Amino acid sequence: GGIITQTPKFLIGQEGQKLTLKCQQNFNHDTMYWYRQDSGKGLRLIYYSITENDLQKGDLSEGYDASREKKSSFSLTVTSAQKNEMAVFLCASTRTGGSSYEQYFGPGTRLTVL
Amino acid sequence: QQKVQQSPESLIVPEGGMASLNCTSSDRNVDYFWWYRQHSGKSPKMLMSIFSNGEKEEGRFTVHLNKASLHTSLHIRDSQPSDSALYLCAASGSGYNKLTFGKGTVLLVSP
């Protein structure tokens, strides 16, 4: 078994601010993901990484940067927070050859921009 | 254009009833379908996966897949209030490393 931890759990920012979210996993998984979920709806892929120092853009990468400096960690940066933005950011990981393996999710970071 | 379409958007079933959820992909390159369940305030957890044509049953949950039409359905019999959640369908293709999720179906099981 393993676990994914995300920090912080809640993040409150100001419009225009750069904000960083962190994710750690101890599954020893190669592939990690960042998703955004709005209002309890579906997940949209922001970035993913199939190995350390690899970055692949998802459908929603504009306005975000990501960093995978270690196999176990994956960070996401909101480059300029948008006013009244509210969303949950979910980190996930899976084994190598990820298309046929289950993704495991972290508990999420809830972002509010004032 | 949403590549994974789910229907209905929301569904209310009585306790003990049958819930049927649908999902179709418009991407002909997909090979794998997944159903995730997300309780309110929690993260999604994989419920069932199906990769071959036909049916797969696990307890009260049955999933069907028709690869020709890229349609999958999830059926929950003897629904319980604890089944109330957001059900997310996802699809992936061999050689891909990513899932495409639908917008989900909100299931409410009324006691």
Per-10-residue mean pLDDT of chain B, 111 residues long, equals 89 98 93 94 95 95 96 98 97 81 96 91
pLDDT of res. B96: 66
A positions 25-44 inside 8 Å of B (CB): 31, 33, 35, 40-44
Contact B98 A42 (CB under 8 A): no
Residue of chain B whose Cα is closest to the Cα of A36:
B101
Contact B104 A41 (CB under 8 A): yes
Taking contacts as CB-CB distances below 8 angstroms, the residues of chain B near A105 are 43-45
pLDDT of res. B93: 83
Instruction: Count how many residues are written for chain A.
Output: 114
Please say if the pLDDT value at position A23 is more than 90.
yes
Average pLDDT for A9-33: 95
Report CA-CA distances (Å) from B12 to A14, B62, B72, B80, B111. Answer: 39, 18, 20, 12, 11
pLDDT band at residue A42 under the 50/70/90 scheme: confident
Token couple for B76: 């929950």
B positions 38-67 inside 8 Å of A (CB): 38, 40, 42-46, 49, 51
pLDDT of res. A39: 84
Name the DSSP letter for residue A30. Answer: S
pLDDT of res. A97: 61
Q: Which of A90, A102, A95 is nearest to A4 (CA)?
A: A90
Contact A42 B40 (CB under 8 A): no
Q: What values do phi and psi take at A6, rounded to 5? A: -125, 140
